Amino acid sequence: MANTRQYDIVLLGATGYTGKLTAEYITSSLPTNIKWAVAGRNQSKLQSLVDEMKSQNSTRSTPDIITVASLSTPEVSTLAKKTKVLLNTVGPYHQYSTPVVEACAQTGTHYIDVTGETPWIRDIIVKYEATAKKTGAIIIPANGVESAPSDLIAYIATRLIRKVWDCGVMDVVASVHELKSSGPSGGTLATGLGLMDHYSAGAMKECLQNPFILSPTQLKPYTKDTIYPRNPEPNTYIRTPWQKWTGVWSYPRLGHLTTSITAKPNMAIVHRSAGMTPYFYGFNFSYEEYMAVGSPLVGVLIHIALALLTLFLAFPPTRVIMKLLTTYKPGSGPSKESTKGDVFELRAIAVAEQLAKQPRKALATFRFEGGVYELTAILLAEAAVALLTKEEEIKKSHGAGFLTPSCLGNEYLERLEKANVKIGVRQIGDVGSK
């Protein structure tokens, strides 16, 4: 990318809940030689944000302010041409951000967001992948708590297996081992409810049933006769029909597992990573994700609650009622004080595809002590620096176009570890051992 661009980073949606956290992190933690700006539609809110930033880090110059009257493609194109990387926190993404992606793809501007909206990601890949490849734009959606931790944990587990045994991975089973959260932001709630209004039941079903929907070889309409690369069922520990029906099963070292509400978007991103680099991950690679629970009974109750939630979301009248009952409105979320005791930990076991008398496995962990939206801000901001620092290496390995968080590689992992994200991986013995 030409060095003539005015900014290294522009943060779009800086006055929203996640945007403000990202702006604060950039101010306090990113290199002071980063040239950046905040952008949004409300000049007075942006100015108030910049005034707050002045007191947080006296060694950093305050960001410039860019006001955009609308998120139309022509206006966002003018904004995109000014920066090397555009960070987008304007959601719901399916409602507002398609023109932003289009503008970045057309202008060769790198783009990163924190969406978890799989149907929308699929749409923008189909529409703008060819353009982004042509202009050299690197576009990385879902680089927040959905779905960067999942993608990175699968990557480091595979990396270890490649290094030690020089083979691919057959199965990765991951679990949200610990989650203490003060609750979702208003934007997250609005997104979840809005998706069902925007997309048809068939499109939503497609995204829920096909974990390979974002894989380069699977970007095609779902039918009952669609054949996927393989059934995403762990070869090492098959579940019984009863376990599938109740939603609860056990996996050694991970404990009792049940349905996770965020699993489907995460699985789609991880399978895209694997589909882009099958020689690294393995041609029989599969990833699935669950939530760890203290007992099977708790797991059954969670599974039933999520099934009922899915049912309620399928009907417009109940969606209207749920919108009225939401605690937070878009732009708001848990206070910083309330998130101090929050914890997020993801664990995963990867099984090498190489046949051996003693199964070869890796255990990977990703842990952050703090609010999940604070983690999202870290993931987003550090991804921008990794992309700015290693742009040529990333393009050499993966090319331009729609990439995934793990494509940012070791530089990204090292930056996250310096930001107090605890990431680890090690070999383990047989999956049945303690």
| Average pLDDT for the chain | 87
Is the predicted pLDDT of residue 233 greater than 50, yes or no? no
Q: How many domains does one find in the chain?
A: 2
- Same domain as 333, residue 228: yes
pLDDT tens for 51-88 read: 888 887 777 788 999 999 889 989 999 999 999 999 99
pLDDT of res. 186: 54
Contact between residue 11 and residue 19 where contact means Cβ atoms under 8 Å apart: yes
Confidence of residue 314 (pLDDT cuts 50, 70, 90): low
pLDDT of res. 236: 46
- Same domain as 316, residue 172: yes
Who contacts 383 (Cβ-Cβ below 8 Å, separation ≥6)?
112, 140, 143, 148, 405, 408, 412
pLDDT of res. 181: 77
Q: Would 307 be classed as within a structural domain? A: yes
pLDDT of res. 230: 40
Is the predicted pLDDT of residue 281 greater than 90, yes or no? yes
Could you give the percent of the chain with pLDDT greater than 90? 65
For the record, the structure tokens of 290 come out as 């669950």
What's the CATH number where 21 sits? 3.40.50.720
- Same domain as 153, residue 105: no
Q: Would 164 be classed as within a structural domain? A: yes
Contact between residue 392 and residue 353 where contact means Cβ atoms under 8 Å apart: no
Residues facing 366 on adjacent strands = 346, 423
pLDDT tens for 188-220 read: 656 666 676 677 778 878 888 899 999 997 654
Tokens 């390979």 locate to 212
- Same domain as 187, residue 120: no
Q: What single DSSP character describes residue 370?
A: S
Contact between residue 136 and residue 108 where contact means Cβ atoms under 8 Å apart: yes
Length reported for the chain? 434
Is the predicted pLDDT of residue 221 greater than 50, yes or no? no
pLDDT tens for 364-422 read: 999 999 999 999 999 999 999 999 999 999 999 999 999 999 999 999 999 999 999 99
- Same domain as 242, residue 272: yes
Name the residue among 417, 427, 434 with its Cα closest to residue 350: 427
Is the predicted pLDDT of residue 432 greater than 60, yes or no? no
Q: Would 352 be classed as within a structural domain? A: yes
- Same domain as 335, residue 205: yes
Q: How much is the average pLDDT of 349-372? A: 89
Confidence of residue 327 (pLDDT cuts 50, 70, 90): low
Structural domain for 174, as ranges: 148-371+419-428
Q: What single DSSP character describes residue 42?
A: -
Is 0.95 topped by the overall pTM? no
Q: How much is the average pLDDT of 125-135? A: 97
Confidence of residue 187 (pLDDT cuts 50, 70, 90): low
